[in-house]
Amino acid sequence: MEYDVVIIGAGPGGYVAAIRAAQLGLKTACVEKDPKLGGTCLNVGCIPSKSLLHSSELYHQILHGAGDHGIDAKPTLDFSKMMARKKGVVERFNRGIEMLFQKNSVTKIIGEARFKDANTIEVNGEEIKAKNFVIATGSEPTPLPFLPFDEKQILSSTGALALNEVPKKMVVIGAGVIGVELGSVYARLGTEVEFVEFLDRVCPPLDKTLSKEFQKILEKQGLTFRLSTKVVDAKIEGDVTLTFENKETVTAEKVLVCIGRKPFTTNLNLEALNIETNRGMISINGRFQTSIPNIYAIGDVVDGPMLAHKASEEGVAVAEIIAGENPHLNYLAIPSVVYTFPEVAAVGFTEEELKDKKIKYKVGGFPLKANSRAVAIGEEEGVVKLLADDATGMLLGMHIIAPHAGELIHEGALAIEKRATVFDIANCSHAHPTLAEAIKEAALSIVKKAIHI
Ligand code: FAD
Ligand code: NAD
């Protein structure tokens, strides 16, 4: 039997591609090496981390935040129950994807895929033939060369999501997205968390002014940062002692290494087919085709931000391309969110990117402490920053630190997708009192009509 398309990997790229392909009438199979569908995102990424972020935030708020509201309570922490809840959330969606596959007639094949030729893969010793393949095999954590993961003391994000108890001290190497999210989880539960970051700022892709503001907020929460610091050696003698280039040392029970992820193509046998890669990423053209035209690649295994929704958008687009359609995907309108408290969200260009591109722009901003809803809920740390084209006012970037910034940012994503201007945002009525009014006020500040600042 020959499939129209076989998708390799059932993460948010692969499973979405499979469903869309089947919906378009293509005879579709999805091969996944893990018995549980959903990939990194569902099993050891987005979903378990957000479950723990919310649970730990609740605990922390009751412990430290509720007193200001006149509520005195002393919570007790049942960490194993918190972890069990997280597992339940993941399993619910594992079953959900299974059901979606059944409903859409996607054939699920559990096993590791290995290419034999451009139309054949081998899985569990059997050959599977297809007119087209989509590689959606994702990514894996990058270890430090002298500090391999043992998932007991030297943790990747996967190990940090599966601890049995809350550690006393954790050093986080890499103050990127995983670091600040999982570092926040454990700091809220009582761990002393110290970051070691190679660069001079936290979450380097963020707009620089927001990165600085974000760091200050995290420091107020008790997180500490050693920026511009390189770990050069590590010794495990009971605890782990890290040595930095300046010869200083730090000792901790656990070390979380989150210095980025790398594309995962192990055992696919890409070399035999001469499928081109670039620094480990599979090279593709604008239609997701690899150097072999009937073999496509999407998601973390190709260039671009390693985000679940980016992988899914590519999954839909590649299925539509294989089915003969001409989909459109605007990468500039893909938002990114850091799910700390407050959240940090961005879409479009940063100020530094506009300077590099020599695009003339205007900046508008609004601090949360002048937003009535933020003050009413007692969460007034944060800011909205908008970047607009100098000549036309077209929105070029939206950057937010705020509670629920990950929800608010979609106003910016839609504006960028539809090429809306800051005049459009300023003219649009925003309900009062909402955090979203800070976006309107930031737009009003660019069009010189600010009311509340
Ligand atoms: P993956 O999800 O990695 O899926 C690839 C799948 O392919 C895996 O299931 C793997 O088992 C399978 N596979 C690999 N090789 C083979 C083979 N040869 N044969 C068969 N199967 C194979 N992104 C967000 O947008 N929001 C978040 O909040 C977020 N949080 C994250 C938190 C953490 C801790 C981590 C680690 C990541 C997070 N991400 C988040 C990133 C997100 O998980 C990835 O961008 C996303 O999972 C990429 O999807 P993908 O389909 O490309 O690959
Ligand atoms: P990252 O790229 O976000 O951050 C890695 C950090 O480590 C950077 O700040 C980098 O400067 C630093 N670093 C690199 N080498 C170092 C070294 N030797 N010593 C000290 N610091 C070093 O990577 P990550 O946090 O590992 O996350 C991986 C990917 O997963 C990201 O690309 C992200 O897109 C995705 N992710 C997304 C979310 C989300 O969307 N909320 C959450 C988690 C992960």
Query: Ligand 1 centre and the CA of 135: distance in Å?
Result: 12
Predicted local confidence at residue 66, as pLDDT: 85
- Model confidence over 358-403: pLDDT tens digits? 999 999 999 999 999 999 999 999 999 999 999 999 999 999 999 9
- Model confidence over 327-344: pLDDT tens digits? 999 999 999 999 999 999
Structure tokens at 69: 């509201």
Q: Measured from the CB, is residue 174 less than 6 Å from ligand 2?
A: yes
Q: Measured from the CB, is residue 393 less than 6 Å from ligand 2?
A: no
Counting ligand 2 atoms within 8 A of each CB, the residue from 40, 155, 261, 300 with the most, and so the one to mutate, is 261
Determine the Cα–Cα distance for residues 123 and 186; give it in Å rounded to an integer: 40
Q: Which residue has the tokens 């996607």?
A: 106
Counting ligand 1 atoms within 8 A of each CB, the residue from 42, 46, 54, 122 with the most, and so the one to mutate, is 46
What is the four-CA torsion angle of 20, 23, 29, 30, rounded to 10 degrees?
30
432 in catalytic set:
yes
Q: Which ligand is nearest to the CA of 305?
A: 2
Q: Measured from the CB, is residue 311 less than 6 Å from ligand 1?
A: yes
Residue 448, classified by CB atoms within 10 Å of its CB into exposed (0-12), middle (13-18) or buried (19+), is exposed
Predicted local confidence at residue 64, as pLDDT: 87
Catalytic residue from among 64, 69, 432, 452: 432
Which pTM value belongs to this model? 0.98
Determine the Cα–Cα distance for residues 310 and 335; give it in Å rounded to an integer: 9
Q: Whose CA is nearest to atom 52 of ligand 1?
A: 299
- Model confidence over 252-304: pLDDT tens digits? 999 999 999 999 999 999 999 999 999 999 999 999 999 999 999 999 999 99
Q: Measured from the CB, is residue 226 less than 6 Å from ligand 2?
A: no
Counting ligand 2 atoms within 8 A of each CB, the residue from 40, 173, 178, 256 with the most, and so the one to mutate, is 178
| CATH numbers and ranges of domains, the chain | 2-141+262-329 (3.50.50.60), 154-259 (3.50.50.60), 334-446 (3.30.390.30)
Q: Whose CA is nearest to atom 26 of ligand 2?
A: 260
C-alpha distance from residue 129 to each of 16, 25, 318, 353 (Å) = 21, 18, 19, 45
The secondary structure element, H or E, covering residue 155 is: strand 154-155
Q: Measured from the CB, is residue 98 less than 6 Å from ligand 1?
A: no
Determine the Cα–Cα distance for residues 189 and 44; give it in Å rounded to an integer: 20
- Model confidence over 88-122: pLDDT tens digits? 999 999 999 999 999 999 999 999 999 999 999 99
- Position 65 confidence tier, pLDDT thresholds 50, 70, 90: confident
Q: Measured from the CB, is residue 49 less than 6 Å from ligand 1?
A: yes
